[in-house]
């Protein structure tokens, strides 16, 4: 991939850690200039210090919609345009629907769905005026399959895929705007530690499946290949996660039976107070 994105301006949200940080390093190594966004300025600056190319640290709160137009203008003026937008910022969930406070659903859907939609909507006219671009939506296998303990997260990630698919249909041929949906499975990040519990608190601990998941650098490598090849959708998963994602398409009834059996076991544990 060396040089594949030379001179491209890539804007990554959620760039301070995990998949976002790995993407920043991978795009930079491939010659791109990087706009790093997130909430933690110090963490973004640390990522920027490790990059091999020009970068702009642009911290902002993704749900501060009033401030978003000025943020977009700062990003555009840095190098004159944004070629690739990666909507990566997000937050997960670990709680039963039965117990989850409505504010948790509101927060997750706001961060994981409405925020990337609005950022994309405001940047889209500028991409069209520049002659095209590429928009990447980091969804999840949970954006294709209903996964226990993640009702709000699944709702948001399913919705993001739907929005991106419809956007691609409207803009790909007419305006040269390519859209790629990425559906990761378990990637070794802090996603479980930062996930919201039923009351909206951070969970503070990880899952074994996440700790044993794919390295973020490998995930980033596959994403770059998909963007370079204008792939509309890519599932990045292994083993049972890949199998169930494919099963959702090929045999939905079997998929539903499997997730129902898994969900019953998990729900029984959670209702008994065991959330490990």
Strand-by-strand arrangement of the 84-87 sheet: 55-57, 33-36, 9-12, 84-87, 133-138, 177-184, 233-236
147's tokens? 């996964």
30's tokens? 């491939």
* Candidates 65, 153, 163, 270; catalytic one: 153
Are 41 and 238 in contact by the 8 Å Cβ rule? The answer is no
Apex 140 CA angle, 15 and 37, nearest 5: 15
Instruction: Examine the residue annotation and report whether 153 is marked as an active-site residue of this protein.
Output: yes
Distance separating alpha carbons of residues 248 and 267, to the nearest angstrom: 21
172's tokens? 């790909």
Q: Choose among 89, 142, 113: nearest CA to 263.
A: 142
**Residues with catalytic function:** 153
């Amino acid at each position: 991939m060396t040089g594949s994105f030379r001179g491209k301006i890539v804007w990554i949200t959620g760039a301070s850690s995990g998949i976002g940080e790995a993407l920043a390093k991978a795009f930079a190594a491939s010659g791109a200039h990087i706009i790093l966004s997130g909430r933690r300025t110090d963490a973004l600056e640390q990522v920027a210090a490790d990059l091999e190319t020009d970068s702009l640290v642009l911290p902002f709160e993704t749900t501060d919609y009033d401030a978003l137009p000025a943020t977009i203008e700062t990003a555009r003026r840095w190098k004159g345009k944004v070629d690739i937008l990666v909507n990566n910022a997000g937050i997960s969930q670990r709680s039963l629907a039965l117990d989850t406070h409505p504010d948790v659903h509101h927060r997750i859907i706001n961060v994981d769905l409405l925020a990337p939609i609005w950022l994309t909507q405001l940047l889209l006219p500028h991409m069209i005026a520049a002659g095209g671009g590429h928009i990447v939506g980091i969804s999840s296998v949970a954006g294709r399959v209903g996964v226990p303990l993640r009702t709000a997260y699944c709702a948001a990630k399913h919705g993001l895929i739907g929005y991106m698919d419809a956007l691609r249909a409207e803009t790909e041929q007419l305006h040269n705007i390519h859209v790629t949906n990425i559906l990761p499975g378990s990637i070794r990040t802090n996603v479980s530690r930062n996930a919201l519990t039923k009351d909206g608190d951070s969970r503070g601990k990880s899952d074994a499946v996440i700790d044993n998941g794919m390295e973020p650098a490998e995930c980033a490598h596959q994403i770059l290949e998909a963007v370079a090849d204008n792939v509309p959708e890519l599932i990045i998963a292994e083993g049972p996660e890949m199998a169930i994602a494919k099963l959702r398409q090929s045999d939905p009834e079997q998929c539903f039976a499997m997730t129902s059996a898994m969900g019953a076991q998990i729900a029984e544990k959670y209702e008994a107070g065991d959330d490990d």
